[in-house]
Amino acid sequence: MEQNRVISSVNHSKINSDKVNLSVSISKIKKDTHKLSKMYDFKKYMDSSDMIFPPEMDDMIPKDTPPYLDNGEHYVERIGRALKFFKQCALIGPSGTGKTHIVYLVAELAGLPMWEINCGLATSVFDLFGRYVGLGKENWIDGLITGWCRKGGILYLDEANMMKQDVATKLNPLLDQRGHMVLTEKDSEIIHRHKHAYMIISMNPVSSEFAGTKPINAAMRRRMSVWLNFDYMSVGDNIDEKEFKMVSERGGISLEDAEIIVRIGAKLRQEYKMGDLPYGPSVGDLVNWAKICSDGVDILQGGNETLVPMTSDDPEIQDEVRQIIKKVIEGKIAQRNRKV
């Protein structure tokens, strides 16, 4: 589920040097977490009052994260339980199902700094674990994973099934009973994992449309302990009416028009899951479509400007999407006429 968040980027590696250019996303502080915490039974697993970090890490703790809506799966609490019992877990599901959003929410509820890495980027082992810098290479700076191991927080590995094998191998000792990492790059220094250092990995299902994905190796898969599957709010005829309200409010359109857009999205997601379309729209995609319609554009034209070209460049597939849109719209119009 795509959510509107105000995100700012800071370069954690630049604390000691400008030569490491890897940014980590953090949220700006905007509000108290108290109201948000009332929505979830989270304190029995992780209590933010127990999490104490240096003041310079305050900006790394997400704030103003929107609530996560699910169909009674209690994902927030289940992630909290996994982190309490095992200190790590894995989230798997298609793009747009809210995996990243919920990690930010959990970090905010727990009062934990976020260290975020996109494994699909060409990130070197040196950037992640550290390196010597300077003319004589006499000064050592920690990489992101090393910083997380020393200081604590949530290490979030997005698109983990695109992770380089050498990175996964170096992580394994951190994730089992040893609980430490060996910095071979720094005279084999042993760093013990901070007591409040947690890891969450997320990934798309391994398939052709997610280029570069590959199965997680058995060693890391076993260490994750808990795996949570995510899906869209509405798929096919299984419609979650909460999605109507979300698209209506965020897109600025009527509830009736939002229902049409959500039902179209649900059909397209169904086709995607059956392998007949290369992409299934997220809630954020549907909200963008609604925003175009809020300017007076009809639903069909709005779809032609947003979802149709987003799904594929193939004219035949685009025409298939248009036909699904038309069919749902015509069905809703006929239904309204019968009521009249």
**Confidence class for position 161, pLDDT limits 50, 70, 90:** confident
pLDDT tens digits, one per residue of 101-116? 999 999 999 999 999 9
Do 205 and 273 touch, CB atoms closer than 8 A?
no
DSSP 151-178: H-EEEEEETGGG--HHHHHHHHHHHSTT
pLDDT higher at 13 or 122: 122
- Which amino acid is it at 2? E
**Confidence class for position 132, pLDDT limits 50, 70, 90:** confident
For 62, other C-beta atoms within 10 Å of its C-beta total 28
Report d(CA 104, CA 235) in Å as an integer. Answer: 25
pLDDT score for 252 = 96
pLDDT at 23 over 60: no
- Average pLDDT of span 152-162: 92
- DSSP 3-state assignment of 310? helix
Report d(CA 25, CA 19) in Å as an integer. Answer: 18
- Which amino acid is it at 340? V
pLDDT tens digits, one per residue of 25-66? 333 333 445 567 778 889 889 988 888 899 999 999 999 898
Q: Count Cα atoms within 13 angstroms, Cβ side, for 77.
A: 12
CA angle 76, 78, 79 (to 5 degrees): 65
Report d(CA 295, CA 233) in Å as an integer. Answer: 26
pLDDT tens digits, one per residue of 207-248? 544 445 567 878 888 888 899 999 999 999 999 999 999 999
Report d(CA 302, CA 289) in Å as an integer. Answer: 6
Report the predicted TM-score, pTM, of the whole model to 2 decimal places.
0.78
Average pLDDT, the chain: 84
Tell me phi and psi for residue 273, to 5 degrees. -70, -25
- The owner of tokens 């809703």 is 332
pLDDT higher at 143 or 6: 143
Q: Which helix (DSSP H) or strand (DSSP E) does residue 203 occupy?
A: strand 197-203
pLDDT score for 311 = 92
pLDDT at 203 over 80: yes
Give me the long-range contacts of 319-322 (CB less than 8 A, separation at least 24): 320/271, 320/276, 320/277, 321/268, 321/277
Do 91 and 78 touch, CB atoms closer than 8 A?
no
Counted residue by residue, the chain has a size of 340
